């Protein structure tokens, strides 16, 4: 029937939505996109590739009525209230059994609420993480669907077709129950925050501390991207150093104000880890450093009171670059370890049944944190799917141990010169605590019992004890 032509509908024709829709059309699906603004519809239609079936509309009912049954509709709208508003507009137009996908960065608790709300009305609702930015959406993102196992087979062929591929395998897999898809995407972004912070610290030490210019930094990141540090984030950093500012002719990176924004997913990762009692300090510090960066005028005032960082001397360029490389590798691995350890616990606590081998498998391509390291984690989880922390894998342990000495040297040089490397130091601190058979928390327990009768356990006897300290 002429009014039931389309395989897939998409609400929200921003660049991500538009690109994802065009990507689906490239793979032979007939797609229709809706946006309230006719201008967005025109933008979509101006990019249609000849021979593909794509239609745009600013009439929501027209889109819904033009879809095959059960309808498959993805929303790519701003997280928060807009998702609920769109759902309310959609509901009167839907039929029982229709499948609605939220492909945005929604908070997982909102997704859980919406799953229940839509289920009660007879619809399927899935929270699906999509990573890879605008380019990824067009050429192949990493896709993290979760929830509703009944609905998944209806969207699986499309998601597999449009996703990135690694060794011919799609970077999409069903990642568990409830809001698992959005939870995994949230943690993906937390790891992303961690790695971005570590890269920025290494840049700061090499640039401000050691004096490497943008061309030298480009060369360093270029070389790194050809080795064990190969990753999307290292690759784009390499290219960032060469980009010129149209206005001034200077390098663009040098005219960008040092205040980082954030949309919330990193903070949510930290908040949830705190609630679950899981240590993810590299991610926490990455969130905190973005917050501190926002206090530009206060930092300028403080810089007048306290002494400035001093240059790092007494080491060759080759050596400092080698130390930096090891430190970035070390910190990056720890950032993944913390995020994955959070997923391990959250999966159990929230009964999400997240398959960690699948998570790292689909992160190998398309997403912002894709890197050659993911292959190493995939091997580790394939050997032991219930690994609570990748640092317990013996191959990974060797990788970390062989970078430990250089990481310590790099962090101490940065510290002596006064360049902030909070992410790298906390990654090292996490590692040192995690591998410590004993921690000084016996003293903390003694103090708690001293002032609050909070009790303690003993090393030599079962039970709960309290002492008269005075």
Q: Which residues are catalytic?
A: 185, 192
| Pairwise CA distance, residues 218 & 241, whole Å | 6
CB of 39 to ligand 6PG, least distance (A): 23
Q: Which residues bind ligand 6PG (CB under 6 A)?
A: 105, 131-133, 189, 192, 261-263, 265-266, 367-368
The residue among 26, 118, 10, 28 whose CA lies nearest residue 67 is: 10
What's the Rg (C-alpha) of the chain?
A: 25
CB of 410 to ligand 6PG, least distance (A): 25
Q: Which helix (H) or strand (E) holds 373?
A: helix 373-383
| Pairwise CA distance, residues 177 & 351, whole Å | 7
Of the two residues 164 and 419, which places its CB atom closer to ligand 6PG in the complex?
164
| Pairwise CA distance, residues 69 & 71, whole Å | 5
Residue 371, classed as helix, strand or coil, is: strand
Of the two residues 358 and 417, which places its CB atom closer to ligand 6PG in the complex?
358
Of the two residues 106 and 214, which places its CB atom closer to ligand 6PG in the complex?
106
CA distances from 304 to 297, 301, 307, 347 (A): 11, 5, 8, 48
CB of 268 to ligand 6PG, least distance (A): 10
CB of 269 within 8 A of CB of 183? no
CB of 198 to ligand 6PG, least distance (A): 15
Question: What's the CA angle centered on 81, arms 118 and 345, to 5 degrees?
Answer: 70
In angstroms, how far is CA 222 from the centroid of its own chain?
Answer: 23
Of the two residues 261 and 314, which places its CB atom closer to ligand 6PG in the complex?
261
Residue 445, classed as helix, strand or coil, is: helix
Of the two residues 333 and 369, which places its CB atom closer to ligand 6PG in the complex?
369
CB of 162 within 8 A of CB of 337? no
CB of 264 to ligand 6PG, least distance (A): 6
């Amino acid at each position: 029937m002429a009014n039931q032509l389309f395989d897939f509908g998409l609400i929200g024709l921003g660049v991500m939505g538009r690109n994802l829709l065009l990507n689906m059309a490239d793979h032979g699906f007939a797609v229709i996109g809706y946006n309230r603004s006719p201008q967005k519809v025109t933008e979509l239609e101006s990019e249609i590739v000849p021979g593909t079936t794509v239609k745009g509309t600013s009439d929501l009912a027209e889109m819904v009525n033009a879809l095959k049954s059960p309808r498959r509709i993805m929303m790519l709208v701003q997280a928060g209230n807009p998702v609920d508003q769109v759902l309310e507009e959609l509901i009167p137009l839907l039929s029982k059994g229709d499948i609605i996908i939220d492909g945005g960065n929604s908070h997982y608790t909102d997704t859980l609420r919406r799953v229940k709300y839509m289920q009660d009305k007879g619809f399927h609702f899935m929270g699906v993480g999509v990573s890879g930015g605008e380019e990824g959406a067009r050429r192949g993102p990493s896709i993290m669907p979760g929830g509703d196992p009944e609905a998944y087979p209806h969207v699986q062929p499309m998601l597999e077709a449009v996703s990135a591929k690694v060794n011919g395998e799609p970077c999409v897999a069903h990642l568990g129950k409830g809001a698992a898809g959005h939870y995994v995407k949230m943690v993906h972004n937390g790891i992303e925050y961690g790695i971005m912070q570590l890269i920025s610290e290494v840049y700061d030490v090499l640039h401000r501390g050691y004096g490497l210019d943008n061309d030298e930094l480009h060369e360093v990141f270029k070389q790194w991207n050809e080795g064990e540090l190969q990753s999307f984030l290292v690759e784009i950093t390499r290219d960032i150093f060469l980009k010129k500012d149209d206005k001034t002719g200077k390098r663009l990176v040098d005219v960008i104000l040092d205040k980082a924004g954030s949309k919330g997913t990193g903070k949510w990762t930290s908040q949830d880890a705190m609630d679950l009692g899981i240590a993810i300090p590299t991610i926490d510090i990455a969130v905190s450093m973005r917050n501190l960066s926002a206090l530009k005028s206060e930092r300028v005032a403080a810089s007048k009171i306290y002494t400035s960082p001093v240059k790092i001397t007494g080491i060759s360029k080759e050596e400092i670059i080698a130390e930096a490389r090891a430190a970035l590798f070390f910190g990056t691995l720890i950032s993944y370890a913390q995020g994955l350890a959070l997923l391990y616990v959250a999966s159990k606590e929230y009964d999400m049944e997240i398959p960690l081998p699948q998570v790292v498998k689909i992160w190998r391509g398309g997403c912002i944190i894709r890197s050659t390291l993911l292959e190493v984690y995939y091997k580790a989880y394939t050997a032991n799917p219930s690994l609570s922390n990748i640092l317990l894998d013996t191959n990974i342990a060797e990788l970390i141990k062989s970078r430990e000495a250089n990481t310590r040297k790099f962090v101490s040089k940065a510290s002596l010169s006064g360049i902030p490397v909070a992410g790298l130091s906390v990654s090292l601190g996490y590692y040192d605590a995690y591998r410590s058979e004993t921690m000084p928390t016996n003293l903390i327990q003694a103090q708690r019992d001293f002032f609050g009768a909070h009790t303690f356990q003993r090393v030599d006897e079962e039970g709960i004890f309290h002492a008269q300290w005075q």
